[in-house]
Amino acid sequence: MIRKYRLGDPIETESVVCPMPVTEGLPEGLLYVSEGCFKKVLTENTRVYGLGETVRGINKRGWKYISNCTDDPVHTETKHSLYAAQNFILVWDADDAVGYYFDTPCKVEFDVGYERYDELVVRLETPDAYVYEITPDLAENESKASEADTPCRRVVRQFRHIIGRSYIPPRWAFGYGQSRWGYKSREDIENVIKGYKEADIPLDSVYLDIDYMDAFKDFTINEKTYPDFPGFVKEVKDKNIHLVPIIDAGVKIEKGYEVYEEGIEQDHFCKKEDGTPFVAAVWPGRVHFPDLLKKETREWFGEKYSFLLDKGIDGFWNDMNEPAIFYSEDGLKEAFKKIRSFEGQNLDIGTFFQFTNVVETINNNPNDYASFYHEYMGKRFRHDKLHNLYGYMMTRAAGEAFEKLSPDKRILMFSRSSYIGMHRYGGVWTGDNDSWWSHILLNIQQLPALNMCGFLYCGADTGGFSANTTEDLMLRWLTVSIFTPLFRNHSALGTRDQELYRFPHKDWMRGMVRLRYALIPYLYSEFMKAALNEDMYIQPLSFAYPEDDRACCTEDQLLVGESIMIAPVYTQNAKGRYVYLPEDMKMLRFEGDVLKEEKVLEKGDHYIDVSLKEVVVFLRKGHALPLAKPANTTAELKNDLTYICFDADPGSYDLYTDDGITPVK
Ligand code: MIG
């Protein structure tokens, strides 16, 4: 059952697609303390889930999370905000599950037992919002119950129903992708493809980071480094490989640059209070931000993707759309003025840090976000009042354009920043993680939360973006990423090269990627069923075994689709790990795509050895797992499947298939 409440005068976000009457009063399960502040008592057993892409565990208790889309590349436990604002929270006690969705683009603070362990406090920056309260009981006209439903899963499914169907990518987007910030030319890309070919490692896509553009200008190509781009796209496509370029939010200010000129002429850029276009800076130096909140601007910007679609491109990633700001023109002036004022001084304890602070706070500065305006639904809004919608609207611009520009073909799209609602237009990647062991765990823990919020197509930079990776880290990370819909190896400029073919143990890595390809019929089928049934693709154990307290406390094992559980090793130099089985399961030990061992294990704790070249999967009782013969691209995968079963017939598995490319109606 879902009830919708209105607080004050909310800004419409169009994240909810089901029209619903407003119930008078306030949500029953929350205590309204004061203007925009809610409280709920948490018992010792209450678990709190949701919030999508954030730091820390699956159970969010014991920290404070702030929805405020931020380009912060250091994802440590100390942080409160990452790139996303996904305000869905699920509070679950022994026999009581309730979900809340706070639909407001303003900052929202979720104090989940931070001040007091036994209290959830939600503070809205401004007391204007729609609040949805979702309980597990189903009204007749609400989404159909599934046999596997448990209280948490029901709440999530109902929530997912009102926010609309999750984005569905083309099937090739389940293949392996190689990316790196630093590929400079057509030749660099050709070498990557050659490297994979020679090492016989499957590959479906190569990503083009900012260097494919001419001077970092959106919708341009550097003709010197990428001569005959359409010919290149075709040459690569003939090998069944897709090139996926990046698009940034900022439009370079440059006389004669078409996107800039048109944007000025047709009034598409965000303005300052005085009506002049707001000047910020990102990669190309000075830029304007397209006012993507405005419908006409979304149409205009979305149409621009045709520049690349027309050249044969069929996938994109949207970056820097929090939007990230290196500095604003006004902010920079101020900073120089301040810095000059320190000149000649004896910088001591009091002044030295003030001095360094001037530069440290210049990027993503709150003053800048409060100094430009949008036109949204016919009204003027200061950016900071609806900051969290910007990335959503950028991806929506693309998604809506694709429906017109590519009506017969799905286009790959994922974004860095997001708000619920964006899940209908694209997936997300989790941004600039590090090559740290703790970030494998973070990756594991973000996945179910993203699924709850509708972001089914998601994944992390495999191997880690910043910092230098190592062979063992990459191998272990692969044992997570081969199960995530988006499976991409990406790294930052200046870090150690991490294409799989460069590693001495590339044979082991090849084996893992081959296993991924063998799993694609299953993974795709489970993904599609989750999308079409408004369900979870990756679940925490508590969603399936709510009665089992041990399972509910398990934060480093996941259910992937209906048939399997994974328990990746994520600590360095471990030779295995303890795995908790919430029921009897069949352990499947793979070395590459070769099944080495099958063994039924009883419910309970087991220490499982897992060497660096192995992947261990647990098959649930009464379930079957289809496997294909691996191929070097998804296009070459055949549908002759073999099945591994545990007390089930192969025929019991409900395999979803389609052509993988026609948009699903
Ligand atoms: O501030 O385009 O998260 O994936 O490689 C860096 C360069 C800008 C941030 C993205 C990252 C990408 C990088 N971008």
Residue 112 lies in a domain: yes
In a domain, 229, yes or no: no
pLDDT in tens, 387-401: 999 999 999 999 999
**Residue 531 near residue 165 (C-beta atoms within 8 A):** yes
Q: Is 319 in the pocket of ligand 1 (CB under 6 A)?
A: yes
Is 622 inside any structural domain?
Answer: yes
Distance 319 CA to ligand 1 centre (A): 7
Q: Is residue 266 part of a domain?
A: no
Question: 27 to each of 33, 219, 232, 420, how far by Cα in Å?
Answer: 12, 46, 56, 20
CA separation, residue 210 to residues 184, 219, 283, 497 (Å): 9, 11, 9, 17
Q: Which residue among 74, 319, 465 has the greatest number of ligand 1 atoms within 8 angstroms of its CB, and so is best to mutate? A: 319
Would you say the CB of residue 416 lies under 6 angstroms from ligand 1? yes
CATH number of the domain to which 32 belongs: 2.60.40.1760
Where among 119, 134, 163 does a domain terminate?
163
- Strands 427-429 and 458-459, how do they pair? parallel
Whole-angstrom distance, CA of residue 457 vs CA of residue 486 = 6
595: domain CATH number? Answer: 2.60.40.4040
Counting from 1 in the atom list of ligand 1, the atom nearest the Cα of 246 is 2
The pLDDT value given to residue 149: 85
User: Residue 616: which domain range?
Assistant: 523-652
**Domain-terminating residue out of 163, 196, 228:** 163
What pLDDT score does 137 carry? 83
What's the one-letter identity of residue 135?
Answer: T
Distance CA 373, CA 329 (A): 16
pLDDT for 415 equals 98
> How many angstroms is it from 248 CA to the middle of ligand 1?
9
How far, in Å, are 305, 477, 576 from residue 505 at the CA level? 39, 14, 19
Q: Is residue 25 part of a domain?
A: yes
Q: pTM of this prediction?
A: 0.97
588: in domain? yes
Domain contains 48 = yes
- Give me ligand 1 centre to Cα 207, in Å: 12
What's the DSSP call for residue 315? E
**Distance from residue 267's CA to the centre of ligand 1 (Å):** 28
Q: Does the beta carbon of 210 lie inside 6 Å of ligand 1?
A: yes
Pick the atom of ligand 1 nearest to 324's CA.
1
> Domain for residue 58, yes or no?
yes
DSSP string, 403-456: HHH-TTS--EEEESSEETTGGGT-EEE--S-BS-THHHHHHHHHHHHHHHTT--
- Chain-centroid distance, C-alpha 393: 15
Q: Whose CA is nearest to atom 1 of ligand 1?
A: 320
Final residue belonging to a domain, choices 163, 188, 211? 163
* Residues of the chain where predicted confidence (pLDDT) is lower than 70: 139-147
Pocket of ligand 1 contains residue 181 by CB under 6 Å: yes
* Residue range 149-185, pLDDT digits in tens: 899 999 999 999 999 999 999 999 999 999 999 999 9
- pLDDT at 232 (0 to 100): 98
Longest dimension (CA), the chain: 81
In angstroms, the CA 113 to CA 116 distance is 5
Domain count, the chain: 2
